[in-house]
Amino acid sequence: MSLAPIASVDLGSFRYATHAANVTVSLGLLPAVSSFRVRLPAGTPVDAKPGDPAVLRMDGGEGEETVLTGTVHAVRRLLDGTVVTGVDASAALAALRSGSTFERMSAADVIQSLSAEAGVDVQASVDLRLAAYVAGQQRTAAEHVAYLAGLGGAIAFTTGDGALSVIPRPDEAEVALLYGREIREYRETDREPGPMRAAIGAGPAGTPDAPDALKHTLTGLPGDAPEAGPDAVRQGVGLLRTPGAATRATEALTKAAAAESVRFRASCFLLPALRPGTVIQVQELPSPLTGGPWLIERVVHRLDRNSGGRTVLEGTTASPPSEGLLGALAGAIGGLL
């Protein structure tokens, strides 16, 4: 076990095990692009070119973790060293503007298809069936993936081995951090929740596979959707063709908005195993701090030979309030299933 934080990086066919003295890694939920920047000392031979394989590993003292697997994005040569930037599969999705049309496929199938077009491995679990979906070029593939995941109550992120993972939004803590041990700085921010987000579909069909699933109607669905006003924002989502799908999307959008009103930010020593999509609980905080559970949305790992390693975490509550509008929506969904 290493006691001092270290990093190693593979660039093309070379591994730099001791040269990576300054490293910054930024990881986020899609549609954010996850990347690293490593500075190598002057005199270090660097033959890597954009497009070459790149793998970054970090060890904060508890074992080595593969933090990012992808490709070299840029090589900047300076008088006092070389700075190499690497990106993972999220960059390939962010670079793709597909222009494809899909009929009678689930959101998971659409995500699978877009990922294959970008050359990205993916495991997708999204409970949302679609009559049709147009992956218009006004959005990148990364934005389409994040949009579909959000409508289905899921999140999308890249894993350390460079694959895409789309999972239902988690709400139970996987990792416990201790104030006074891992946690150095910590803050919670509560804001007034925004209005309910009502996803308004269009179509008379009972199922996405029905013959009339692509037929438009003059009235939105579901029929009992709340009227637009200060407490409810109607968001037109034409791809939703059944009342059940529209109600599920409404629940997902409202839950995400409620979660966004309670945020956290924490700083700790280098913990390279922490990634976006992980739910943490911070223990032994002084009152009135709650400690979560928190869904990590963004992670920045920094390693400097002189100042050591540090991880900064940002995210939202993993358990937004279930009373009020969310509770009513849950009851409505139960009646439609």
Average pLDDT over residues 109-115: 97
**Residue 299, both tokens:** 């992670």
CB atoms within 10 A of CB 257: 18
Question: For the purposes of burial, counting CB atoms within 10 Å of the CB of 101, is it exposed (0-12), middle (13-18) or buried (19 or more)?
Answer: exposed
Question: Would you list the domain boundaries of the chain?
Answer: 6-88, 92-168, 196-259
The answer to whether residue 336 scores a pLDDT higher than 60 is no
> What percent of the chain is modeled with pLDDT above 90?
66
* b/e code 175-214 from CB counts within 10 Å (16+ = b): bebebeebbeebebeeeebeebbbbbbbbebeebebeebe
pTM for this one?
0.90
Q: Distance of CA 31 to CAs 4, 81, 125, 205, Å?
A: 33, 32, 17, 31
Average pLDDT over residues 179-187: 92
CB atoms within 10 A of CB 4: 11
For the domain 6-88, what is the CATH superfamily, name and number? Baseplate protein-like domain - beta roll fold (2.30.300.10)
Three-class SS state of 185: strand
What would the pLDDT profile of 231-280 be if each residue is shown by its tens digit? 888 888 888 888 888 888 999 999 999 999 999 999 999 999 999 999 99
Cα 73 from chain centre: 21
What would the pLDDT profile of 221-242 be if each residue is shown by its tens digit? 777 788 888 888 888 888 888 8
**Residue 130, both tokens:** 């679609």
Q: What is the pLDDT of residue 205?
A: 67
Q: What is the pLDDT of residue 221?
A: 74
**Residue 25, both tokens:** 């890694």
Question: Tokens 């789309």 map to which residue?
Answer: 166
Measuring CA to CA, which residue among 110, 148, 128 is closest to residue 333? 128
Average pLDDT over residues 135-164: 96
Cα 55 to Cα 15: distance, rounded to the nearest angstrom: 9
Cα 120 to Cα 287: distance, rounded to the nearest angstrom: 45
Confidence grade of residue 335 (pLDDT, cut at 50, 70, 90): very low
Measuring CA to CA, which residue among 107, 117, 119, 118 is closest to residue 145? 107
Cβ atoms 187, 264 nearer than 8 A? yes
Average pLDDT over residues 80-98: 96
For the domain 92-168, what is the CATH superfamily, name and number? Baseplate protein-like domains (3.55.50.10)
The answer to whether residue 17 scores a pLDDT higher than 90 is no
Comparison of pLDDT for 191 and 217, the residue scoring more: 191
Q: What is the pLDDT of residue 235?
A: 84
Cα 151 to Cα 250: distance, rounded to the nearest angstrom: 8
Average pLDDT over residues 92-108: 94
Mean pLDDT taken over the chain: 89
Q: Distance of CA 15 to CAs 6, 18, 21, 72, Å?
A: 14, 9, 14, 13
Measuring CA to CA, which residue among 281, 286, 273, 289 is closest to residue 315? 281
Q: What is the pLDDT of residue 3?
A: 61
